Amino acid sequence: MDASFVALETRNSPMHIGSILVYNPETAPGSFVRFKDILQFIGERAQLSRTMRQRLVRVPFDLDYPYWVEDPDFDLEYHVRHVALPQPGDWRQLCIQAARIFARPLDLERPPWEFTVVEGLDNVPGIAKGSFAMVTKVHHAAIDGMSGIDLMEALHTLRPNDPPPATPDTWKPGRIPNPIELLGKSYFNAVTNPLKQLDVAAKAAPGLARAIKGLVVKDFTVSADMIAPKSRFNRAISPHRVV
């Protein structure tokens, strides 16, 4: 399933998940949070999420699923970014900024996530002065239910003065396998997992047979639940996004 999100990614349909989180810094020392404080906080807690420092490596010709490796060039400041809204700093400006961020695909030659700290939320109704937002963007191949919980745990604490994890961070950067190594590993997997391949083929065979029959006789039965309603959203998409 994770590999399918990588394979299905296109320029017009990136496979990342996004959110906009808004933070009130009133409980922080001096009721103010600096960007370098956010960087330090995330860096001290990165060990709580495997997602944060792993990147994908694709096998030549896609002969096997991509592999996760510990990124040898991990740079926290590449992934955690900092911008400020232009005036008037209202909800519309925040949505425009988030839409621009969500429209850009993630670089899959790095750990597939980005957090953008957004300051200047001066005229957003219901948000305290000095608040900031964080626009999160994580590739669907890297995040599911449990890994999403790990990532949120790395970003948050239950109390403002909670210390960083007591256990030492034993993470070490990995090495990117060369193409020959990747091809050898994919061949080994193909030889040692024939039953897995047969099981996948057996499960896919009935659906494939129905699809071929439908193409030949031009007879497809589509459930009403599978038909998208007519709306302004039901049309060819571009790489641009609106929030």
Question: HSE on the CB side for 220, CA within 13 Å?
Answer: 12
What DSSP letter does each residue of 52-99 carry, written as one string? GGEEEEPPGGG-S--EEEE-TT--HHHHEEEEEPPTT-BHHHHHHHHH
| Catalytic residue, candidates 16, 139, 140, 240 | 140
State the virtual CA torsion across 209, 214, 217, 218 in degrees, nearest 10: -170
Non-local (6+) Cβ contacts of 232 within 8 A are: none
Q: Rounded distance, CA 101 to CA 25, Å? A: 23
Cα–Cα nearest to 171, from 51, 37, 58: 51
140 included as an active-site residue: yes
Q: Rounded distance, CA 16 to CA 226, Å? A: 23
- Environment class of 94 (CB within 10 Å of its CB; exposed 0-12, middle 13-18, buried 19+): buried
Q: How many CB atoms lie within 10 A of CB 83?
A: 15
Which residues participate in catalysis according to the annotation? 140
